[in-house]
A and B are shown apart, each in its own frame.
Chain A
Amino acid sequence: MSPSFQLDGRPVPFVPGQTVGAALVASGRTSWRTTRHEGRPRGIFCGIGVCFDCLLTVDGVPDQRACQVLAREQLDVSTPEGENP
């Protein structure tokens, strides 16, 4: 069985070496937060850490770029609103 991390309490499988963002895209998720004003969905855009579209909370630390954080087993990831959009 492939390893997984938790997103809002649900397992997301990953291949060791993938970022959290890449694993989410691979699992079919394209968005995991909504914008402040218009509530628009956001996920990966630039893929290299410059656009900050892909923010989520990792192990309780807010505003982490999913495309930059390496996936690890036991990682506790949550969408900023704590809900699955």
Chain B
Amino acid sequence: MTTGTVRATASGAAPDVVDLVVVGAGPAGLAAAAVAVLGGLSVALVDAGQELGGQFWRHPPHGSAVGDGKDLHHDLRSYRQLTATVRDAARSGRCRSLLGHHVWTAVHPAPGQHVLHLVDRSAGPGRESAVRLEARHVVLATGAYDRPLPFPGWDLPGVYTAGGLQALLKGAGVRAGSRVVVGGTGPFLLPVAAGLAARGASVVVCEANDPRRWAGGAGAALGLPGKLVEGAGYAATLARHRVPVQLRQAVTAAHGTDRVEAVTISRLDRSGAVVAGSGRRLEADAVGTGWGFVPQLDLAVTLGADLVPSWGGDQVVGVDRWQRTSVPGLSAAGEVCGVGGARLALREGQLAAEGVLRDLGRPGVTGDRGVVAVRREVARHRRFAAAMAHAHPVPAGWTGWLEDSTTVCRCEEVCAGQVRRAVADGAVGVRQVKQLTRAGMGWCQGRMCAPAVAALAGPGGPGTEVPERLVATPVPLGVLARGTGRDPIP
């Protein structure tokens, strides 16, 4: 646990009511919390993780013996500044930093009143407790998770999501393999490959698209020097460690009995279909698969925020120019509003807090001219994100890689053949396929299989149907029963 942070107690010690609760301590949430405390608000910053930073700035817990992996990170200056602000405020009692706390549901019983229900897992299994927070405003900065797509053998141990490989590396200093194949699409494959290569793994990257057409001038034209520097850094690392980046290729099968031992890499045609006879076998003891990210929308949906389609085709939280959602007193920032990287998330978090300050009749922290500059940066990053999404689509032909026996839903063990049969029998859309096959009904509530089921279920791209999950995380019944001495659901 972070030193210098105020820890909530099971009894919900004062202050129970704060001006602002920020859910998520990634770049977006950290920025929102820091700006809000600088603006004089009382703030609670909540994250299910063990340390501030979210995915991009994932760090082992404070005081841990795991190295901080400085060389794996970018823009640590911002990270240090934001965390220093939050920790100072925690010491002086203006900010509660609730790590190891998961918001499992939220309600807003009245305008200007939000009630969040948390499970405090910081004491470990069997020692969870309930925490209830009340706030006038909430900023949702819950980020995103990897979008995996199934392929034969993807459920073999040793196959990870690309983000999972990165989380092991950044959060725990663990390199999951020594011969690693990273496959899928999108710019995120590069930092994952670069990090593993820098730690001595031999790495091959398979990028299903050919972003070169796009990269020629558009990146520069969009005027994002930071992005280009970061990208050039990965490219240099990849070149130094002789990491090949195979374009228009994909991992189309993983082989092994109890764990992955090899993969098949295939060339793809323009539709994403495998070019016949192009498959070649490559030994691997770890595989990372990632097809972009899916915004984590559970709380936004529970609280009734309107969703809109994003540049990537997914549903995301709709926000105005101050990052306000359609629900009064509820703002959102970062990947929940569209996947666009850490810098965009950070700037949106800042805007969200500036908006809350204004709504509460307080002067802003960033200044009017500063806000204009931040907005300009946000707009540039959104254009860049849209261009990236355009250059890295999930290729339509990917479902052709699936054999009927390929597992699609890992939790309920539903295979592609069962889903195809359900569709042939007349099931339309994810919901009906789910009812017929149980795909998406298991522990992960469809987070891992929904994009695949949606694609197999027919028209509508990945992520077009957003399921309602009233409970964002499984909560021990004991926590509900012990409660906080008050009715947990007002």
B65 & A51 in contact (Cβ 8 Å cutoff): no
A44-B164, A52-B442, A52-B443 as given contacts; A22 in contact with B258, CB under 8 Å: no
Stretch from B82-90, B172-180, B238-246 that touches the partner: B172-180
B168 & A45 in contact (Cβ 8 Å cutoff): no
CB distance from B415 to the nearest CB of A (A): 10
A50-B447, A61-B126, A72-B124 as given contacts; A17 in contact with B160, CB under 8 Å: no
B173 & A15 in contact (Cβ 8 Å cutoff): yes
In whole angstroms, what is the CA distance A31 to B410 when docked?
Answer: 14
CB distance from A78 to the nearest CB of B (A): 12
A49-B48, A70-B50 as given contacts; A26 in contact with B145, CB under 8 Å: no
A22-B171, A85-B258 as given contacts; A37 in contact with B163, CB under 8 Å: no
Contacts of A17 in B (CB 8 A): 60-61, 63-66, 172
B124 & A59 in contact (Cβ 8 Å cutoff): yes
In whole angstroms, what is the CA distance A44 to B165 when docked?
Answer: 10
Q: How many residues of A are counted as interface, with CB atoms below 8 angstroms from the partner's CB atoms?
A: 43
Q: Whose C-beta in chain B lies nearest to the C-beta of A35?
A: B413
Interface residues of B in 394-436 (CB under 8 A from A): 407, 410-411, 413
Contacts of B325 in A (CB 8 A): none
B121 & A59 in contact (Cβ 8 Å cutoff): no
Contacts of B164 in A (CB 8 A): 44-48, 67
B125 at the interface (CB under 8 A from A): yes
Stretch from B4-12, B17-25, B37-45, B151-159 that touches the partner: B151-159
Interface residues of B in 440-490 (CB under 8 A from A): 442-444, 447-448, 473-474
Contacts of B161 in A (CB 8 A): 45-47, 51
B157 & A30 in contact (Cβ 8 Å cutoff): yes
A82 at the interface (CB under 8 A from B): no
CB distance from B294 to the nearest CB of A (A): 9
In whole angstroms, what is the CA distance A34 to B299 when docked?
Answer: 31
A51 & B171 in contact (Cβ 8 Å cutoff): no
Contacts of A16 in B (CB 8 A): 64-66
B55 at the interface (CB under 8 A from A): yes
Partner of A46, one of B157, B448, B474: B448
B227 at the interface (CB under 8 A from A): no
CB distance from B91 to the nearest CB of A (A): 22
B259 at the interface (CB under 8 A from A): yes
- A16-56: contact bitstring with B at CB < 8 Å (1 yes, 0 no)? 11110011011000110001111011111111111111010
Contacts of A75 in B (CB 8 A): 124
Partner of B157, one of A38, A41, A48, A67: A41
Partner of B126, one of A40, A44, A52, A60: A60
Partner of B411, one of A25, A26, A52, A85: A52
Sample 24 A-B pairs with CB under 8 A, ordered by A number.
Answer: A17-B63, A17-B172, A18-B60, A18-B174, A22-B171, A22-B172, A30-B158, A30-B258, A31-B259, A40-B413, A42-B157, A42-B410, A44-B160, A45-B148, A45-B155, A45-B161, A45-B410, A47-B165, A48-B55, A50-B145, A50-B447, A52-B442, A61-B126, A70-B61
B interface list, Cβ under 8 A from A: 48, 50, 55, 60-61, 63-66, 121, 124-126, 145-146, 148, 155-161, 163-168, 171-174, 176, 258-260, 407, 410-411, 413, 442-444, 447-448, 473-474
Given contacts A31-B157, A47-B164, 17 further A-B contacts (CB under 8 A): A15-B66, A18-B172, A22-B174, A30-B157, A36-B413, A41-B157, A43-B157, A43-B158, A45-B148, A46-B145, A48-B55, A49-B48, A51-B410, A55-B443, A60-B126, A67-B164, A67-B167
A interface list, Cβ under 8 A from B: 15-19, 22-23, 25-26, 30-31, 35-38, 40-53, 55, 58-61, 63-64, 67-70, 72, 75, 85
